[in-house]
Amino acid sequence: MNSLAEPGWEALARDPEFRALVASRRRFVAIGTAIYTGYLIAFLALLGYAKDFMANEIGGISLALWGGLSICALTVLMAWLYARRAGEWERMAQRVAERA
């Protein structure tokens, strides 16, 4: 395919593999956003409403700090999962682009 040629966007949008690619990415982002948002809201709620509980210490570190660190770990985990899936999405996009 010539890099200057404009693909047929209507035909591309009807391609089953393109639709599967879009659906897979949308599902991943929606689930990831829901999990991260839910986790963050739960953490913030615990900080606001369970202060005594979050002040407890494990290994000399408060649960509030462990919770904050776990949010950082969750961010790294989600980035790793996204990077893993991105390879699959790239292969799907290449197959679609070759047919376009």
Residue 16 — left, alpha, or beta (φ > 0 → left; ψ -120 to 50 → alpha)? alpha
In a domain, 86, yes or no: yes
Tally of domains in the chain: 1
Q: What is the mean pLDDT of the chain?
A: 91
Asked if 45 and 80 touch (Cβ cutoff 8 Å), the reply is no
Query: Burial letters for 53-77: b for 16+ Cβ neighbours within 10 Å, e otherwise?
Result: ebeeeeeeeebbeebeeeeeebeee
In a domain, 72, yes or no: yes
Counted residue by residue, the chain has a size of: 100
Q: How many CB atoms lie within 10 A of CB 22?
A: 14
In a domain, 1, yes or no: no
In a domain, 4, yes or no: no
pTM, entire model: 0.79
List CB contacts of 71: < 8 A, sequence separation 6 or more: 39, 40, 43
Give the structural domain span for 73: 9-99
Please write the tens of the pLDDT for every residue from 12-63: 888 899 899 999 999 999 999 999 999 999 999 999 999 999 999 999 999 9
